[in-house]
Amino acid sequence: MSQRQTRINVVMEAIRSRIASRSYPPGTRLPSVRAQAKAMRVSVSTVVEAYERLAAEEVICARPGSGFYVCGPVAPLALSEIGPPLDREVDPLWVSRQSLEAGASLLKPGCGWLPAAWMYEAGVRRALRATARADAAVLSDYATPLGLPALRQLLARRMAAADIEARPEQIMLTESGTQAIDLICRFLLEEGDTVLVDDPCYFNFHALLRAHRVKTVSVPFTPNGPDVEAFGAALREHSPRLYITNSGIHNPTGATLSPVIAHRLLKLADNTNLVIVEDDIFADFEVSPAPRLAAFDGLSRVIHIGSFSKTISASLRCGYVAARADWIDRLADLKIATSFGSGQLASAILLAALTDSGYRKHMEGVRIRLAEARNKTMARLDAIGVTPWIIPQAGMFIWCRLPPGIDAADVARSCLKEGVVLAPGNVFSQSQDASGFLRFNAAQSMDVRVFDTLARILPA
């Protein structure tokens, strides 16, 4: 810090402490910059800068022609902000809110993302510095309706690498993968429509569909994709408008769609009204790529969505949707109406991070580290009688069965009291058939206290 910076900070701290001690109560007019400079033996410009910064923080306020005054007091954060409430009903939002609200002291083996230390932090720092030098328009203007063209071109090239043909004008950027699905629901669904989901599936699909007030029907998920018999029966019985699923690595099971099931699903959908949303958020975790419905279907009835929240940064909000060009145009209208536009700045930062030559190497490292973490976690779970439903080939998730007769929600509630956030099976399950399951995140399970706590709580 420069000497000037230090002097400015000293003046700011002195004024803050006088305000805190009420030696300057709210409403007090501060000494003029000249008088303050003399009293503190610093230059006038130092005091001017210190006052300006305190004014920017709204600690003091300027009244033109009259000087600076101490602002009124504002209540501090409430107690409820410091820890999450522990008594919330275990519903589809339970894990999200517990995980999002958990302080650094909680362990979160149930949460759905990597620890910050596993993310592409160095790349994001470089991307921020690069974006600080971008054109004024990138820093200040709204994005075009579809979003930053260079990022959409890169996404088109990435999809082409997965055999998905999408022209850049068939791709729209969104604030997140979740917003992409939400816009699709707004576009396609009428109140009372039926939507198919996997059982189990990502719990936020339930929360999202509940917000849309549609009927949800679930299809049992097998280690190779949805149960084809049940899928066909659901199509016949409910004429669903939409099916939402994960391609690549399935959340929460870590399973992988097989080509034969992908093909059968699309064949069953022939001559129906069904649209399929394929959420590809875990793509960069794959070791050997699974088939993509969007590749088989050619973006006819399949809409392909994704984001980089799980690999580059969850703090940087940017997702995308690839679909038929006429649908993209309607989705763009809806995006403008309901959130005005996507962030050009976030897109530019993401583009810089994605095209940084370090990203590929970073993800190679993450895949290796995850494989080790999965093995270690499965071994530790095995030691306390918790067994994986399948051995996942990639990704962070392990879908596990508790010993017979134990209710996962009870275990989750007990563990939360001891500072461990779990993901009980039924938050993922429409049929509520998964009360004996927990989803573990291997990357978030490296602390042995997770298993110590579980061992204490599970009946021997």
Q: Using CB under 8 A, which residues numbered 31 to 60 contact its own copies?
A: 31, 49, 52-53, 55-59
* Residues in contact with its own copies, shown as a per-residue x/- string from 419 to 448 under the rule CB under 8 A: ------------------------------
Burial class (CB in 10 A: 0-12, 13-18, 19+), 137: exposed
**Residue 46: closest CA among 20, 23, 12, 71:** 12
Cα–chain-centroid distance for residue 182? 14
Query: Can residue 349 be called a binding residue for its own copies (CB under 8 A)?
Result: yes
* Residues in contact with its own copies, shown as a per-residue x/- string from 306 to 345 under the rule CB under 8 A: ---x---xxxxx--------------xxx-xxxxxxxxxx
Site for its own copies, residues 5 to 34, rule: CB under 8 A? 22, 25-31
> Distance between CA 155 and CA 145 in Å, rounded?
16
Q: What percentage of the chain's residues is helix, strand, coil (to nearest 5)?
A: 45, 15, 40
Query: Can residue 71 be called a binding residue for its own copies (CB under 8 A)?
Result: yes
Give 236's DSSP letter. Answer: H
Provide φ and ψ at 88, rounded to 5°. -65, 145
Q: Which of 124, 269, 275, 422 binds its own copies (CB under 8 A)?
A: 124
CB distance 148 to 131 below 8 Å: no
Residue corresponding to tokens 């328009």: 137
C-beta closer to its own copies: residue 280 or 356 = 356
Query: Can residue 279 be called a binding residue for its own copies (CB under 8 A)?
Result: no
Q: Which residues are CB-contacts of 22 (< 8 A; sequence separation ≥ 6)?
A: none
Total number of residues that touch its own copies (CB under 8 A) = 117
C-beta closer to its own copies: residue 76 or 404 = 76
Q: How far is the CB of 31 from its own copies (least distance, A)?
A: 7
Q: Which of 1, 2, 21, 77 binds its own copies (CB under 8 A)?
A: 77
Query: Can residue 414 be called a binding residue for its own copies (CB under 8 A)?
Result: no
Query: Can residue 228 be called a binding residue for its own copies (CB under 8 A)?
Result: no
**Residue 425: closest CA among 96, 200, 94:** 200
Site for its own copies, residues 128 to 167, rule: CB under 8 A? 128-129, 131-133, 136-146, 149, 153-154, 156-158, 160-161, 167
Q: Which of 90, 93, 106, 406 binds its own copies (CB under 8 A)?
A: 93
**Residue 330: closest CA among 208, 172, 181, 153:** 172
